[in-house]
Chains A and B, each alone.
Chain A
C-alpha cells in the first residue's frame, strides 16, 4: 500500500475539514466509545449513527470510493474473527453485532482521520500531555515513513531489475537484504538528523 494515499484528502476545504480539531476528536471518541462499549444493542440508534456518518461523509467532499477503499482495507481481520462467532449458539446475533459495531466505529475514525491532517492530531497529543519523547518519536515516524517507503521501493526495484525468475529462497534473501539495508540507512539517517537538530541549538534537557 502506498502510504501517500492516506494523506491525500486531509487538507480539503469542506465544512467537516473546517471543524475545530479538538471538538472533532472528542466527538469521534464519544461516538466510538459509546458504540463499541455500550453493552446493549439499540439497533435504531445504530441506524441513526450510521445515517449521521453517511451525511458527514457526503458533506466532506471526499470521493466515496476513497472512503470505501479505506473501509475495505481494514475489514478482513474483523470479518474473519466475527465469522468465528457463527460456530456458536446465538452466533448470528453476535456476528452481526460485532460487524455493525466495528463498521460504525471504523467509519467514524476514517471520517476523522481523512478530514484532519495527522500533524493536527499530533499537536492534540502534545496538548494532551503525552510524554515529549513519545510524541517526538511519533512525529519522526510520520515524517520519515514516506522517505523510507520511497527508499525501500527504489531498492526493491533495483533488486528486481537484476534478477530473473529466481528461486523463492533467493527472493527471500534479496528482500531480507533490502530490509537490512533499510535499517542500516535508517540508523545512519538518525545520526545525521541528530547532527541537524544539534546544529539548530537542540540540547536534551
Chain B
C-alpha cells in the first residue's frame, strides 16, 4: 500500500533567502498518527504548508512531496488538496464564510458538489463533530472550541486521506481539548500534527518527529523520544509530566 505522505530531500528557502527546510525526508503510513514537535521557528508550519503546495513562490516542478502517490505539483493541486485536510492554527482564518453551513460547504463546492447532495454531506460532517443544528450560526457567535470543530467539519467533509493539523489544541480550554482529542481519535485518516501540546503527543500519537532548524533531529515512539530530557531541553522542549505518571520508575 502506498504511503499517505512521502517526503524526499525537501529543501526550501524563504523569500528573504534564509533556509527554512534543509533536506527533509520522512514518510507517514496510511492511518498513522505522527507528531511534529520542536521549538518555535523550527519550520514545522512551513513543512506542513508543503503538503498541499501552499507556498506560492515555490517552483513545484520536481516536487519532493507525494500525497497518497500523487506528486504535489500545480497540475495535481485539485486532487492533492482534496486529499489533504488542513487545519490552520487560527480558526478565525479558516472560518472565512458568514455562516457555518457556507463554511463547511466551501470545500465540496469547489470540487463540484451542490444541492441536496451537498447539504447531506455538510449535515453528516457537522454530525461527526457534534454540531448538528449549527448550520445557520455565524462564526462570531461560536465558542473557541466550537470554531475549531467547525473547521474540522469543513476539512472532514471532503474525506481526506491525510490530516495536517497546525497547533490544533492551542487556545482551547480543557474541555475543548478533551472533545477535540476524542474526535481525532475516531478518524481513520493519517494525521500529522505540529504541536507544543506534549500530552497530546503522548496520548494520541504513535510516533513523534523532533524537528529543529529545518531538519529532523530524531524520529521515534513518543514515550522514548520525550523521555530523553537532555534532547528535549536542547531543542526548547521539556519532558512532559504525564510521562512520570505513566512510568513511575523511570529515571528522574
Residues 177-191 of B, flagged 1 when their CB comes within 8 A of A and 0 if not, give 000000000000000
Partner of B81, one of A142, A189, A200: A200
B211 within 8 Å of A (CB atoms): no
With A and B bound together, what is the CA distance between A197 and B92 in angstroms?
A: 12
- List the B side residues contacting A193 at CB < 8 Å: 93, 96
Among candidates B78, B98, B141, residue contacting A142 with C-beta atoms closer than 8 Å: B98
- Closest chain A residue to B55, Cβ basis: A195
Q: What separation, in Å, do the CA atoms of A120 and B158 have in the docked complex?
A: 26
Q: A146-B140, A202-B110 are known contacts. Are A139 and B81 too (CB-CB below 8 A)?
A: no
Given A200-B154, A201-B110, check contact A195 B54 (CB 8 Å).
yes
Q: Indicate whether A198 reaches chain B with its CB closer than 8 angstroms.
A: yes
Residue among B93, B107, B158 with max Cβ neighbours from chain A (10 Å): B93
Q: What is the chain B residue whose CB lies nearest that of A138? A: B98
Nearest CB in chain A to that of B96: its residue: A193
Contacts A122-B98, A139-B98, A200-B107 given; indicate if A195 touches B139 (C-beta within 8 A).
no
Tell me which of B18-26, B82-90, B214-222, B238-246 binds A.
B82-90
Taking CB atoms, residues of chain B closer than 8 Å to A189 are 92-93
Within 8 A of A (CB), among B45-104: 49, 52, 54, 77-78, 81-82, 84, 86, 88, 90, 92-99, 102
Interface size class of B (residues with CB under 8 A): 20 to 34
Say yes or no: is B111 at the interface (Cβ < 8 Å to chain A).
yes
Q: For A143, list chain B residues within 8 Å (CB).
A: 95-98, 138-140
User: Given A119-B138, A195-B88, are A201 and B82 also a contact pair (CB < 8 Å)?
Assistant: yes
State whether A196 and B98 are in contact (beta carbons under 8 Å apart), knowing that A201-B82, A201-B111 are contacts in the complex.
Answer: no
Does A166 make an interface contact (CB < 8 A)?
A: no
* Contact in complex: B94, A196 (CB < 8 Å): yes
Are A196's CB and B110's CB within 8 A? no
B-side contacts of A4, CB under 8 Å: 140
Interface footprint category on A: 20 to 34
The reply to whether B140 and A192 form a contact with Cβ atoms under 8 Å apart is: no
When distances are taken between beta carbons in the complex, the residues of chain B under 8 Å from A119 are: 98-99, 102, 136, 138
**A199 contacts the other chain (Cβ, under 8 Å)?**
yes
**A7 at interface (Cβ–Cβ under 8 A)?**
yes
- The distance in angstroms between the C-alpha atoms of A117 and B54, with both chains bound, is 34
Are B99 and A199 neighbours in the complex by a CB distance under 8 Å?
Answer: no
CB distance from B246 to the nearest CB of A (A): 35
Determine the distance from Cα of A168 to Cα of B106 in the docked complex, in whole angstroms.
47
Answer whether residue A33 sits at the interface, using C-beta atoms and an 8 A cutoff.
Answer: no
Per-residue B-contact encoding for A84-123, CB less than 8 Å = 1, 0 else: 0000000000000000000000000000000001110010
Does A147 sit within 8 A of B, measured CB to CB?
Answer: yes
CB-based contact B88/A147 at 8 Å: no
Which residues of B does A touch, CB under 8 Å?
Answer: 49, 52, 54, 77-78, 81-82, 84, 86, 88, 90, 92-99, 102, 106-107, 110-111, 136, 138-141, 154-155, 158
Binding site for B on A (CB under 8 A): 4, 7, 11, 117-119, 122, 139-140, 142-144, 146-147, 189, 192-193, 195-203
Interface pairs (12), CB distance under 8 Å: A146-B140, A147-B92, A189-B93, A192-B93, A197-B96, A200-B81, A200-B107, A200-B110, A200-B155, A201-B81, A202-B110, A203-B110
